[in-house]
A and B are shown apart, each in its own frame.
Chain A
Amino acid sequence: MSRTLRLVWQDRRARVGLALVVLFALLAAFASVVASHDPTAQLDLVGKQYQPPSLAHPFGTDFYSRDLLSRVLHGARISLSIAVLSVAVSIVLGTAVGLAAGLAGGLVDQVLMRGVDGALAMPRLFLVLVVVALWEDIGVVGLVLILGLTSWFDTSRIVRAEVLSVKSRQFIAAARAVGLGLRGIVGRHLLPNIAGPIIVMATLGIGQMILLEAGLSYLGVGVRPPTPSWGQIIADGQQVLRTAPWVALFPGLAIVVTVLAFSLLGDGVRRALDPRSQ
């Protein structure tokens, strides 16, 4: 593991990604310390509506005269934790189902994969919208579950395909010939050989989740106001894109930079894990 970390650190792009991810995570974790204002405080409804960026309010203010920098920082908390946790749910579930289908084969494989096919045929946003609409007062945990539980399908397909290709390789037969059991073969020989695609899916997934959460909040069915999330702030800014573009601009930039940072990091980790790529 220390070797992987060292290799990630030696890779300039991955280092930038890692630094940004750590920075954003720290900012989100200590948002209440870093932010100069309470993200929900309406500072001066009459005098401070839609203030452009200034020294006092680096990201400007919104309709309710709230400090946008504080809102984006607190929004990072919600957006990042929802994205990371729901990706974790989705990757764990997708990997488990993909492994089961690929290893068991036969009827188990058929049943699981036909189920996944069916689920994939449904538009995900629609699926999420229905559940969210039925589930009143959904909260962050609910949102994580919904997003995680509806996004593991393609992961399981890819993992299954990788398992099928890796399990027929000779070194798996060799591992069985030295007396390893199923756990040893899966843990030591199968998973490390399919870790690359899984990590790529996870990092791409984080970007997608941030966007999906933003979309849901934008549609008004995600995190409930006044709790800030990036998608919500963008939704707030949409009506005033011409007159106060900074409202949508800064959370938008935050999303772009975060997604990019995770991609850089994920790509670096993938390269570090594959000894052949050096």
Chain B
Amino acid sequence: MKPLLEVRDLRTTFAGNPATRAVDGVNFTLDVGETLAIVGESGCGKTVTALSILGLIDEPGRIEPESVVEFGGVNLLTLEARELRRIRGAEIAMVFQEPATSLNPVLTVETQITETLRAHRTISRTAARARATDLLELVRIPQAAERLGAYPHELSGGMQQRVMIAIALSCEPKVLIADEPTTALDVTVQAQILELLAELQGRLGMAMLLISHDLGVVAGLADRIAVMYGGQIIEQASAAAIFERPMHPYTEALLKAVPRLDRPVTRLSAIAGSVPNAATWPDGCRFHPRCPHAWDRCRTSHPELTPTAAGDVRCWLTDEPHRRVR
């Protein structure tokens, strides 16, 4: 069966000298009802990937012409602006990182939900209002009917994110892109929002592209996990495989950086250094300056994403496992 959404060779660059290659050859697929998590540090290209799927890249950014985002047999990147608008919000919806700034401060919750409905459907004012109430109930906002008249600043962060989710779900999209949906929220609220997302996804049968820097967040939700580094996917496997047997040294390091409650307290390990500048990716493997295993080959030659039994990985250790430093 064909996947619901297929991203092939996605490259998004931002003009400059040299140009910033924020997303540099990303490939993945998303099946109906599936959750794919994209994980990585800040600056590795997760958000730009999400925005590129919806064609929301503005000057000076540009999606390279050979990139393909295929949805329902159509390459979204070659669609006319008007046709693309019909997909956005209706077929593929997005929840942004910071609910406080993603809601328009001068419009009521009702207006913001119904405008999405009215943009995609012929629906009367009363019907839109009723639907907005249902949606607020769906995302478990108490006293939904009363909250319709509220302004964003009158709601808590968690409530705001619920409203954002309600807006995203208003037209029953087939794909929900959640870009760091819980990063701006308190830990307790985070758990509630994640639970809500998981439940709604199951109930509505949506596919979800969950973007996060936090492996703890994706652990309970994702079917598959793609780890991004340097604008590329460096490891992609089932969630279970990633957590049990991470293959790429970067994935390993990410896992070690997550505090665990079920293990004795040890020092948390941080990954030395920081993500390199996207305008000047290092030669060879992009992770080699921070990798404990790196040898000459890693410094000069760029590994491809290679399929293995457990998943795909972009690392020379698959060729030369004995190089692994113990």
Contact = CB atoms under 8 A, between A and B. Distances in A.
Interface of A: 105-106, 169-171, 173-181, 184, 188-189, 192-193, 195, 273-276
Contacts of B167: 174, 178
Given A171-B101, A178-B89, A179-B120, A274 B115 contact: no
Interface centre among A174, A176, A177, A275 (most CB of B within 10 A): A177
Contact of A178 (B59, B106, B107, B116): B116
A175 B104 contact: yes
Interface string B76-108: 000000100111111001101110011111110
Contact of A177 (B56, B59, B103, B107): B56
Contacts of A180: 85, 89, 115-116, 119
A171 to B, nearest CB: 4
Contact of A174 (B82, B87, B103, B120): B103
Interface of B: 51, 54, 56, 59, 82, 85-90, 93-94, 96-98, 101-107, 111, 115-116, 119-120, 151, 153, 164, 167-168
B88 A178 contact: yes
B139 to A, nearest CB: 16
Contact of A188 (B98, B103, B115): B115
A173 B56 contact: yes
A93 to B, nearest CB: 24
Contacts of B101: 169-171
B119 A192 contact: no
A177 B94 contact: yes
A275 B151 CA distance: 7
A275 B105 contact: yes
Contacts, number: 82
A184 B115 contact: yes
A158 to B, nearest CB: 18
Contacts of A106: 59
A274 B106 CA distance: 6
Contacts of B98: 170
Contacts of A179: 85-90, 116, 119-120
A275 B112 CA distance: 15
Contacts of B90: 179
Given A173-B96, A177-B93, 11 more contacts: A169-B101, A170-B97, A171-B104, A175-B104, A177-B56, A178-B93, A178-B168, A180-B85, A180-B89, A181-B85, A189-B107
A7 to B, nearest CB: 13
A188 B89 CA distance: 16
A169 B51 CA distance: 15
Q: Which 6 A-B pairs have the closest CB atoms?
A: A178-B89, A179-B89, A179-B88, A170-B101, A275-B151, A178-B116
A166 to B, nearest CB: 10
A195 B105 CA distance: 13
A164 B185 CA distance: 28
Contacts of B56: 173, 176-177
7 contacts: A105-B59, A174-B102, A177-B96, A178-B93, A180-B85, A189-B104, A193-B104
Nearest to B50: A177
Nearest to B118: A184
B62 to A, nearest CB: 14
Nearest to A188: B115
Contacts of A276: 105, 151, 153
B219 to A, nearest CB: 27
Contacts of A173: 51, 56, 96, 102
A195 B111 CA distance: 17
B102 A170 contact: yes
A171 B103 contact: yes
A105 B111 CA distance: 29
Given A170-B96, A173-B56, A178-B93, A193 B116 contact: no
Nearest to B90: A179
Contacts of B86: 179
A177 B94 CA distance: 7
A178 B87 CA distance: 9
A169 B90 CA distance: 22
A193 B88 contact: no
A273 B106 CA distance: 8
A222 B54 CA distance: 56
A175 B96 CA distance: 11
A105 B60 CA distance: 12
A195 B107 CA distance: 13
Given A177-B56, A179-B116, A276-B153, A192 B106 contact: yes
Contacts of B93: 177-178
A176 B88 contact: yes
Contacts of A181: 82, 85, 119
A184 B115 CA distance: 9
